[in-house]
Amino acid sequence: MESLLLLIPLSLLLIAFLAYLFYWAVKTGQFDDLNGPGEAILMDDDAPKAEKLNPVPDLKSKPKSR
């Protein structure tokens, strides 16, 4: 019975803290765009580089002319 004198106030403080965190998250817009980050990973922003498509020839490996 004596443990309830400690556990009930601690649980009320925990509930109040969690309610404040939820209020803060809603107020700062944490739940505004739920689909955007999941779809952003599907967007391909990387364009192929020109060097990979048309490599520069290696000048050192050319045969010497006589």
Q: What is the mean pLDDT of residues 19-31?
A: 94
- Residue 54: the pLDDT is 60
Average pLDDT for the chain:
82
Residue/partner pairs of 19-24 with CB below 8 Å, 24 or more apart: none
Residue 59 binned pLDDT confidence (cut-offs 50, 70, 90): low
Please state, in angstroms and rounded to a whole number, the distance separating the CA atoms of residues 44 and 38. Answer: 13
What are the DSSP calls for the chain, one per residue? -TTHHHHHHHHHHHHHHHHHHHHHHHHTTTTS-SSHHHHHTT---PPPPHHHHSPPP-GGGSPPP-
pLDDT in tens, 26-58: 999 988 888 887 888 887 766 666 555 566 666
Domain spans in the chain, listed from the N-terminal domain onward: 1-43
The yes-or-no verdict on residue 2 having pLDDT over 70 is yes
